[in-house]
Amino acid sequence: MARILKPGPDGLSDPVVDAAASILLDGGAVAYPTETFYGLGVNAENEAAVSKIFDIKGRDFNHPVSVIIGAASQLDALVDHVPPSARRLIAVFWPGPLTVVFQAAPDVSKQLTAGTGTIGVRLAGSVFARRLALKAGVAVTATSANRSGAPACTTARAVMDQIGDRIDAVVDVAEEGTPVGSTIVDVTGRIPVILRPGVITGEEIRRKTGLDVLSGKSEKMS
C-alpha cells in the first residue's frame, strides 16, 4: 500500500518534496496534488517507470502522456522548438492549468508520445508540483492519478481508494482539487487547436492572447 506523505499547513514541506523526488528518481510512482486533480508522477526520462503508468491505470499504450515541469528552462530538453503562438500562450497562462502540445524532441520517450511525435507540457500552477519537478531535476508525468475510465481524484483518499495498492506514495494535502482538468492546446500547426477544454476557456485564450484558436478533437492526452 502507498506511503502517505503529509506536508505542513502550507503544503510545501521540504522533507515531503525531498521524499517524493527521491521516489521518482528511484523509479517509483507518486500521486501528487496539482491545481486541478491529482497527478500520477514518474520520472519522464525513465522508460521502465513510464511503462508502469499504463499498468497502474489499466490503460492502453496508444494514449499520449503529458508532463509537468518546474521551470520554463526545463522545456527545451523536451521539445523540438517553441513556436510564436506557444510563446504567447506561455507568457499569459504559465504557471497554470494549460498543457501545450509541441513537436517532441527526438529523444523523448515514445511511450510519452504514443507515436504521435508530440509531447504535452505544462508549467504547473501548483507550487508543490513545480517544486517536485525542480527537486527531481526531470519532467514528471502528469496523467491523472486514477484507474482508466474512473473519475479523476481530487483528494488523497480518493487516490488511495483507486490505486493506493499500485503506487509508492501519495502526497496528502488538506486542500481539495478540482475535477476539471487543464486545457490542452496543440501548437504544432499554423493555428493553435484546443484538443481538450478545461479550466481555461477558448474565449479566455482569444481575449488574453489575441490568438485565433480552433476547437478540435484528437487522441486523448492526460
Residue spans per domain, the chain: 3-81+105-180
Q: CA 101: distance to chain centroid? A: 12
Statement: the pTM of the whole predicted model exceeds 0.95:
no
Strand order in the sheet with 214-215: 140-141, 67-69, 118-123, 98-103, 183-186, 193-196, 214-215
Which of the 8 DSSP states describes residue 26? T
pLDDT of residue 161: 97
Which residues does residue 107 pair with via DSSP β-bridges, in sequence order?
Answer: none
Strands (E), 33-72: 39-41, 67-69
Note down pLDDT in tens along the chain; length 222 residues: 999 998 866 556 689 999 999 999 999 999 999 999 999 999 999 999 999 999 999 988 888 999 999 999 999 999 999 999 999 999 999 999 999 999 999 999 999 999 999 999 999 999 999 999 999 999 999 999 999 999 999 999 999 999 999 999 999 987 778 889 999 999 999 999 999 999 999 999 999 999 999 987 544 455
* Half-sphere exposure for 141 (CA within 13 Å, toward CB): 35
Pick the CATH number of 3-81+105-180 from 3.40.640.10, 3.30.70.1560, 3.90.870.10, 3.20.20.140: 3.90.870.10
CA–CA separation, 17 and 204 (whole Å): 33
Strands (E), the chain: 3-5, 30-32, 39-41, 67-69, 98-103, 118-123, 140-141, 143-144, 169-171, 183-186, 193-196, 214-215
pLDDT of residue 215: 87
Identify whether 83 is preceded by a cis peptide bond (ω within 30 of 0): no
